[in-house]
A and B are shown apart, each in its own frame.
Chain A
Amino acid sequence: MNIFRLAGDMTHLLSIVVLLLKIRTTKSCAGISLKTQELYVIVFITRYLDLFTRYVSFYNTAMKLVFIGTSVAIVWYMRLHKVVKQTYSRDEDTFKHYLLIPPCFILALLIPLEFTVTEILWSFSIYLEAVAILPQLLLLQRSSNIDNLTGSYVFLLGAYRALYIVNWVYRFFTETHKIRWIPWISGLVQTALYADFFYYYIKSWKNHEKLRLPA
């Protein structure tokens, strides 16, 4: 474990804490894409299939359980909680997220890490995570005003994968000296998708003005 990966995991965890905080304290999920949250449930479940078959460390197992548990809890809040579900921006969250699943699955069949079910699903989850934020970014463009917690959530979510890229560079030079095409290219695509959000988020933060994304 290196500091970049720990920072990445903690940033990822913090993004989820911020989202849960927003939903629980404001009893609202306005501006949050349910479709992105549902994709994350699929990402975590397909990525952590080895949860009970391969023990890496307490930290690893604990974090996997937290990520699966919180992502399911968020979807539960947005779909079933009597108060929160009323605040879901249903008619703005229109990205056809199910269209993202077949290409990622086909890509995982064409370029898996290994031709085993768990590795094909692991590759699928890496590819899907790269594009899972798209419904959320589209929703942000449509939201007239983005509240601070939602903006922070998306910023932290983008920052975590950027920190993972630094971790991959660090590990390449200090440990493995091996190129890991699947996570690296997916991670770069994933982080690149946040590029314009990062630009407008940092600009709004510097100018102390409300975050607004151009439509």
Chain B
Amino acid sequence: AETPEAKDEL
């Protein structure tokens, strides 16, 4: 699954 830090993008 996607690593959480990748969700810092807009």
Contact = CB atoms under 8 A, between A and B. Distances in A.
Interface in B1-10: 1-3, 5-10
B9 A113 contact: no
Contacts of A183: 9
Interface of A: 5, 9, 12, 47, 50, 54, 56-57, 60, 63-64, 67, 113-114, 122, 164, 167, 171, 175-176, 178, 180, 182-183
28 contacts: A5-B9, A9-B10, A12-B10, A47-B10, A54-B7, A56-B7, A57-B8, A60-B8, A60-B10, A64-B10, A67-B10, A113-B1, A113-B2, A114-B1, A114-B2, A122-B7, A167-B9, A171-B6, A176-B3, A176-B5, A176-B6, A178-B2, A178-B3, A178-B6, A180-B2, A180-B6, A182-B2, A183-B9
B1 to A, nearest CB: 6
A63 B9 CA distance: 10
Contacts of A5: 9
**Secondary structure at chain B's binding surface: helix, strand, loop or mixed?**
loop
Contacts of B7: 50, 54, 56, 122
Contacts, number: 33
A77 to B, nearest CB: 23
Nearest to B8: A56
Given A175-B5, A176-B3, A176-B5, 8 more contacts: A9-B10, A47-B10, A57-B8, A114-B2, A176-B6, A180-B6, A182-B2, A183-B9
